[in-house]
Amino acid sequence: MGKAVRVRVRVWARDLAGRARDGWARVGRRDGGMVTSEYAMGLIAAVGFAALLYEVLTSGQVRGALQEIVGEALHGRF
């Protein structure tokens, strides 16, 4: 086994032992989550989607279709 391979195996074994000792907490430290700019872009996208969905659902055609569905459900035969 070459020196580089032995070093890599030692580092891997030490890392594995550290994870076991820390309850695998180190795994989550690699990616701590979104940064502020990613939160901002996600929020902008969510607000844009919500506005688009609101416009679609309050349009005349969709409103009429929903009223027709509710009307048929209320006046249907049992």
Residue 77 sits in the same domain as residue 50: yes
Instruction: Please list, in sequence order, all residues whose beta carbon lies within 8 angstroms of the beta carbon of residue 57, skipping any fewer than 6 positions away.
Output: 63
Greatest pairwise CA separation for the chain in angstroms: 83
The DSSP symbol for 33 reads: -
* Segment 34-56, tens digit of pLDDT: 688 888 999 999 999 999 999 99
Residue 40 sits in the same domain as residue 78: yes
Residue 15 sits in the same domain as residue 42: no
Residue 44 sits in the same domain as residue 76: yes
Residue 53 sits in the same domain as residue 20: no
- pTM for the complete prediction? 0.44
The whole domain housing 8 covers 1-30
* Segment 16-29, tens digit of pLDDT: 776 666 555 555 55
